[in-house]
C-alpha cells in the first residue's frame, strides 16, 4: 500500500476533490489515492464539484483541464477567487502554453495522465506541501497586519525603527518581536517602552555655553 510521507504540515487524513469527466481514469486515480491514505470525492463536472465543496471543503482540488461543461482552468480561477481552495491541474496535454496558464492561475502542480501511477501520490503530496507553505505565509501576513493595526504603540514603534535603523516595515516589526521574545514580554509592552524612551530623549534639554540656556530637541 502506498502512503504519503509523514509531514506535520499536512492533515493526518487529507481530503481531496477530484474533478474529471473521464469515469475510467477518475476511478483509477481515486483508487490509487485512497490506497495512499487520502480521503476524496470524485466529481464529473463543475456543478458536482461546487456541490461537493458546499458539503465539505477539500484540502486540495485536482482538476482536469478538459471538462465538458467548463474549462478546468476556469474552475481553478473560481476556486482561487471565491473559495481560496488550493488546486493542482490534471491533463493529458503537455503543451507549454497550457502549463503556463495553469501556473499563472496558481496551480501547485501539473499532473499528466500518462505519468506512471506510482508518481501520482508523490505529485499530490508535493502540491499539498506547497499549499501548506502558502497558507502559513498568509497566516503570517495576517498576524503581522493585525499586530500593527490592533496596537497603535506597536505601529508607532515600527515606524521609529524604520526611520532609525533604515529598515523596511517587516524588518522593523521582526526586530521588535525579537526583542519581545528575548525579554519574554508582549510586543505591545516593548513598543510602549521604546516610545517612552524616545519621548524622554526628546524632552532632554541640551544647554550649551552661549545659547542663553535655550533647550534644544535632540
Question: Domain limits of the chain?
Answer: 15-138, 151-203
**Per residue in 77-135, pLDDT tens?**
999 999 999 999 998 877 888 888 998 999 999 998 888 888 888 889 888 888 877 76
- The mean predicted confidence, pLDDT, of the chain is 80
Residue (of 71, 67, 76) closest to 26 by Cα position? 67
| Rounded mean pLDDT, 10-14 | 66
Note whether 40 and 96 are within 8 A (CB): no
Residue 138: which pLDDT band, with cuts at 50, 70 and 90? low
**Per residue in 23-36, pLDDT tens?**
999 999 999 999 98
Q: What CATH code is assigned to 15-138?
A: 3.40.50.2300
For residue 111, what are the β-bridge partners?
Answer: 90
Length of the chain: 218
C-alpha dist (Å) from residue 116 to 92, 113, 119, 120, 137: 13, 8, 6, 7, 32
Residue (of 192, 45, 60) closest to 126 by Cα position? 60
Q: What topology does CATH give the domain 151-203?
A: Arc Repressor Mutant, subunit A (1.10.10)
Note whether 109 and 60 are within 8 A (CB): no
Amino acid at each position: 500500500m502506498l502512503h504519503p510521507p509523514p509531514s506535520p504540515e499536512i492533515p493526518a487524513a487529507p481530503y481531496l476533490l477530484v474533478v474529471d469527466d473521464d469515469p475510467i481514469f477518475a476511478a483509477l486515480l481515486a483508487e490509487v489515492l485512497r490506497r495512499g491514505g487520502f480521503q476524496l470525492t470524485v466529481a464529473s463536472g463543475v456543478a458536482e464539484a461546487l456541490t461537493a465543496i458546499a458539503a465539505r471543503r477539500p484540502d486540495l482540488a485536482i482538476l482536469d483541464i478538459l471538462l465538458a461543461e467548463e474549462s478546468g482552468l476556469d474552475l481553478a480561477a473560481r476556486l482561487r477567487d471565491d473559495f481560496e481552495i488550493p488546486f493542482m491541474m490534471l491533463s493529458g496535454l503537455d503543451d507549454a502554453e497550457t502549463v503556463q496558464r495553469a501556473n499563472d492561475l496558481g496551480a501547485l502542480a501539473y499532473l499528466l495522465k500518462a505519468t506512471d501511477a506510482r508518481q501520482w501520490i508523490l505529485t499530490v503530496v508535493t502540491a499539498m506541501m506547497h499549499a501548506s507553505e502558502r497558507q502559513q505565509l498568509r497566516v503570517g501576513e495576517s498576524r503581522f497586519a493585525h499586530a500593527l493595526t490592533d496596537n497603535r504603540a506597536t505601529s508607532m514603534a515600527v515606524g521609529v525603527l524604520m526611520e532609525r535603523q533604515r529598515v523596511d516595515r517587516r524588518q522593523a516589526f521582526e526586530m521588535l518581536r525579537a526583542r519581545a521574545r528575548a525579554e519574554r514580554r508582549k510586543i505591545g509592552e516593548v513598543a510602549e517602552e521604546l516610545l517612552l524612551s524616545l519621548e524622554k530623549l526628546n524632552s532632554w534639554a541640551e544647554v550649551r555655553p552661549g545659547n542663553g540656556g535655550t533647550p534644544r530637541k535632540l
